């Protein structure tokens, strides 16, 4: 779930961490298991449903930030984590799905009239749902078969929607908390910095022509 098509890890620096992807998924789901375990044991505070929903949504945002950080880490620091980008993106989607499932099923009890009223009256829910819907096609196409079927360029264009999703996610977070404590502002600043880096690099590539390759002497 990133706007760039996959590249061989060998090209992108020598400091790749060789952690099994399955282990990343297992570790990635630990917070969700712990949250639901704490919920079952009534250890989530005075408003457990709100705490569960917001915690799952926050973990989705954290994995989204981690996904967006892969490219700058490689290009600036030479830290190659490209092979984990897809797993991090999917973990973001899974947590977003848990976030919305908790709201729809546990909080609203699938009362679609109440859900529709929330979507109409509460902008943060509207933005959050739209952001989740953007993530759906990105998650569905986060596989090699989809890259072959769509073609590399079309796949990359589709996955640029992750930038829109990132903006929607931090906006959703800011509106949910209503007041402005430091945490949502920090995440907003991080996301804007990651997107600003990509924009600046793209503009720079267009303004600065690539040097022509040297011709070998005959």
Per-residue pLDDT of the chain (218 residues; tens, 9 = 90+): 655 544 444 444 444 457 788 999 999 999 999 999 999 999 998 889 999 999 999 999 999 999 999 999 999 999 899 999 999 999 999 999 999 999 999 999 999 999 999 999 999 999 999 999 999 999 999 988 988 898 888 998 999 999 999 999 999 999 988 777 889 999 999 999 999 999 998 888 878 766 665 655 54
Considering its fold, how many domains does the chain have in total?
Answer: 1
Residue 5 lies in a domain: no
Residue 113 lies in a domain: yes
Residue 9 lies in a domain: no
Summarize the chain as % helix, strand, coil (round to 5): 75, 0, 25
- List the domain range (segments joined by +) for residue 103: 19-205
CA distance 214 to 124: 55
Residue 105 lies in a domain: yes
The helix or strand, by DSSP H or E, that contains position 60, with its residue range, turns out to be helix 48-72
Radius of gyration of the chain (CA): 20
Ordered DSSP codes for 77-88: I----GGGHHHH
Q: pTM score, two decimals?
A: 0.85
Q: Which two tokens stand for residue 181?
A: 């404590």
CA distance 3 to 153: 10
Q: Which two tokens stand for residue 89?
A: 């993106």
Closest C-alpha to 89, from 162, 181, 27:
162
Residue 132 lies in a domain: yes
Residues 6+ apart with CB under 8 A from 12: 74, 80, 82
Contact predicate 100/135, CB 8 Å: no
CA distance 128 to 39: 23
DSSP 16: -
CA contacts within 13 A on the Cβ side of 192: 8
Residue 13 lies in a domain: no
């Amino acid at each position: 779930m990133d706007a760039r098509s996959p590249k061989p890890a060998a090209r992108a620096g020598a400091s790749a961490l060789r952690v099994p992807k399955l282990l990343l998924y297992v570790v990635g789901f630990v917070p969700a298991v712990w949250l639901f375990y704490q919920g079952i044991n009534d250890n989530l505070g005075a408003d457990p449903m709100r705490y569960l929903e917001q915690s799952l949504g926050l973990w989705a945002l954290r994995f989204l930030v981690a996904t967006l950080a892969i490219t700058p880490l490689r290009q600036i620091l030479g830290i190659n984590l490209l092979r984990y980008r897809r797993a991090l993106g999917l973990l973001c989607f899974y947590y977003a799905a848990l976030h919305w499932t908790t709201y729809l099923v546990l909080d609203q009890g699938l009362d679609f009239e109440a859900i529709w009223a929330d979507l109409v009256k509460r902008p943060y829910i509207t933005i959050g749902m739209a952001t989740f819907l953007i993530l759906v096609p990105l998650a569905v196409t986060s596989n090699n078969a989809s890259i072959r079927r769509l073609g590399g360029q079309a796949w990359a264009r589709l996955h640029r929607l992750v930038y829109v999703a990132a903006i929607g996610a931090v906006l959703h977070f800011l509106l949910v908390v209503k007041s402005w404590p430091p945490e949502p502002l920090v995440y907003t600043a991080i996301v804007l910095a990651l997107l600003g880096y990509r924009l600046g690099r793209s503009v720079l590539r267009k303004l600065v022509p690539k040097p022509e390759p040297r011709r070998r002497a005959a």
